[in-house]
Amino acid sequence: MNLGRLCRLLKPALLCGAVAAPGLAGTMCASRDDWRCARSMHEFSAKDIDGHIVNLDKYRWGFVCIVTNVASQ
């Protein structure tokens, strides 16, 4: 999963103040990696600060999740 794609997906939701409702995680996508069909950020995984892959579904309930692009050239 490309972080740039995730940011493009989340930008409209963040600008509108949209909040993902429970139960929207199920999609009609062919695979879980099809970012175009994602209904929430919780369907993605990303690398944490230590480089480990973390499923963002871990942060669905009771956590504040800040997505930050820390990539450099």
Q: In this structure, is residue 68 part of a structural domain?
A: no
Q: What are phi and psi of 45, to 5 degrees?
A: -125, 155
| Spatial CB neighbours of 5, under 8 Å, sequence gap ≥ 6 | 35
Provide the pairing of β-strand 45-47 with 53-55: antiparallel
- Structure confidence at residue 40 (pLDDT): 80
Q: In this structure, is residue 72 part of a structural domain?
A: no
Q: In this structure, is residue 37 part of a structural domain?
A: yes
Domain that holds residue 14: 3-59
- Structure confidence at residue 2 (pLDDT): 64
Q: In this structure, is residue 73 part of a structural domain?
A: no
- Structure confidence at residue 23 (pLDDT): 41
Q: How far apart are CA 45 and CA 33, in angstroms?
A: 9
- Structure confidence at residue 62 (pLDDT): 81
Q: How far apart are CA 38 and CA 13, in angstroms?
A: 12
pTM (whole model) above 0.85:
no
Q: Which residues in the chain come in under a pLDDT of 70?
A: 1-35, 72-73
Number of domains into which the chain is organized: 1
